[in-house]
Structure 1
Amino acid sequence: MFAGEEAAVEIAVIIGIIGILIFLSHLLSEIFRRTKIPDVLSLFLLGLVVGPVFRLVTPADFGAVGPVFTSVTLVIILFESGVGLRINNLLKTMRPSLILTVVNFVATVILVGGTVWAFGEIGLKRSFMLGAIVGGTSSAVVIPLVAQLRIRDESRAILVLESALSDVLCIVFALAFLAAYKIGDLRVGALVGQILSSFLLAGIIGGVAAFLWSILLNRIRAFRNSLFTTPAFVFVVFALTEVLGFSGAIAALTFGVALGNAGFLRFPILKRYTLPEPLAPNDTEKAFFSEIVFLFKTFFFVYIGLSIQFGNFLWLCLGVDITLLIFILRIAVVRFSLQGAAPPADLATMAAIVPKGLAAAVLASLALQENIPGGEFIQNITYVVILFSIIGTSALVFLIDRLPASSLYIRLVSPTSAAQQDNIKSSDPVSE
């Protein structure tokens, strides 16, 4: 067989695998609906098998496309989740979301940083840098997962906001600890200012961009093949925000929230530019956004799975231990910060959802790229935590839907009796 024919066969096989993956993802979603076994876990394990286990595919095979693809996936997921958030739920959940985000992040940084420092492989600043890297939750994992869970809209909004906000904290604090290690000084004032500007200005950019787009949307819809123009505009907003030095993720989420609640943005002076009805995305556009998220999510989790790397066995054990500590800590964090903010059954689910993902992987790679002593250790520990936090979250979500795991977690996160909580669970309205 000639070289050209071999290449053609390889391309045909790859195209066939892509089609099979899409069908498999639909099958896994249906399995999740019936059994509560998360499709995220199955896709992740598939990537793990074809990547680090059998080495059939490596991240290097994707070249520069891989990191770009993961970033595009994150933007699309954040935007689509924002479109689905109602402003009234958002306002009600902003305070508990902020409390949960800050408490969980600070507690995780202290716990992980202290544990790693006691292990003795790296110094104090680099240990706390590692704590900051794994201190949040992954938007790309949390959002698709909670969209399929039977919990209240308010509880879902809290988890979505936490994942978006914590990504910013992870990035800012990890880079701050990295700079502190290099120059020997941690500048707290500059750090606080950077966090506030990243949150506030990114939110303003996303909100203003959504407002302008809602005015243009009616005219844009008159064009042929215009469904993808809104995601394309989100990409532009994300890129502009990142170039300005703020959080593109927060801008994308804010854009989605503002556009999805366009009725709250209308002013009498703008009536001549807008339709009588709010120019929010219509049902066709929302269905299209959902299809895009489904498609990107499928390949994203396979890619993350095959990107996992393992170091020596001792580091693997330390990573597993850190992951277990994070899950135990999460129970205390949810109990402390969210009492009364959600039904006990929802709190039990929220206590199980603490996966790490894209931001952690990127930050861990940065430590190695900067030639920081112990960079390989930081990267390998992070990858182990990503792997087992996703596996643990998926397994617990499955188990909490069943007794006795549900009853145990409810007792741990809420002071009321398990019997009372079961009654609450059966009587509370939920979103399918």
Structure 2
Amino acid sequence: MSKLVVFLFLALIPLLPLLCNSFSPEKPSDRRVLVLLDDFAIKSSHSSFFKPLQSRGFDLDFKLADDPKISLQRYGQYLYDALILFCPTIERFGGSIDAAAILDFVDSGHDLIVAADSNASDLIREIATECGVDFDEDPAAMVVDHSGYAVSATEGDHTLIASDDFIKSDVILGSKKIEAPVLFQGIGHSLNPSNSLVLKVLSASPSAYSANPKSKLTSPPSLTGSSISLVSVVQARNDARILISGSLSMFSNRFFRSGVQKAGSPVKHEKSGNERFLTELSKWVFHERGHLKAVNVQHHKIGEADEPAIYRINDDLEYSVDVYEWSGTSWEPYVADDVQVQFYMMSPYVLKTLSTDGKGRFFTSFKVPDVYGVFQFKVEYQRLGYTSLSLSKQIPVRPFRHNEYERFIPAAYPYYGAAFSMVRISFSRIFAFVFLSLN
């Protein structure tokens, strides 16, 4: 028997990392990231993007995209917490990975970065389309901008763009302003209007368009102006985060280190904004910023401390919850003025905005409605760039018992007066009848 126990223990040792593998923003060192490449040369040519990730504790596993041994999961457990696709030309993944497997990976709450370029394959385009963005259908198209191009020694075809049209969100790009424009060279994409979860993070200028730079335009471009997205992000309803870029070159060491001067601007920056932009964006994609958690949900009658099993109609109660935001190193109190709670049964009977003490505690008080049934305290919080909060706690509400009603209701005083008036009139008539009978 003891030999059997030892055998089972030794057999389960290799599976322990898989069974214990789960996302925790407090422990980024536990997060494994699979990086699929077209060529191992990308590992060195784009090392300026990879090294900050490794220095922040991420374990990067580099594989060729067509490696027949690659797999995202084993024994039903995912081996990685995030996936980076730096393989724009791949026509078919190796191993057990395909487009459906990658989408299932995201549906399971894992993060994804996709970088395409002018040679993007149909497979990469399909993955991007499923995530809510559509690349230009012309395989030879690139984003061209004759006004917002990056000034260089050679005039070129103006496909090297210097863009500084960033999304205005501190949680996605950090609170410190990105001073230098970002160098971009690749294909543009548009956002699917039916997908409200996808956002433009870096947009083209109004003078940009998408076309084949090596041929003359014979018809109007399908993508023009600020509607062209260069870099987009998606935060799924399960809080998985996706980054989609139309340029693999913007992640390269060359673009990170290059100086940049936007056409028409007298200012020449010694270093492009690519490193700062992509570093801050990767922090958001990998949940190092904008990740919320709610703890210590409490409710009780005013003047009491214990949570009751049931409320009575018209009771005065207090509701509170503690909300914290992950700063990359620790949980910090979250401060906002738009967190709301609903007291809900089929529809919200009470909707209150929670006050905050600035230390993470959100609270409010209200009167239980004059309706009995099974209610819920519900907090459904969604804010740009932050993970969503969805809290619910069920509580029944009962009516007054027969001995809990007020003896005299102020609204019924006219009826009380009418009743006493009738009694007085009746006694007056009896007295009159008796008096007249005796006489």
TM-score under structure 2 normalisation? 0.20
Q: Higher helix fraction: Structure 1 or Structure 2?
A: 1
Structure with greater strand share of residues: 2
Q: Higher relative CO (CA 8 A, sep ≥ 6), structure 1 or 2?
A: 1
TM-score (norm 1): 0.20
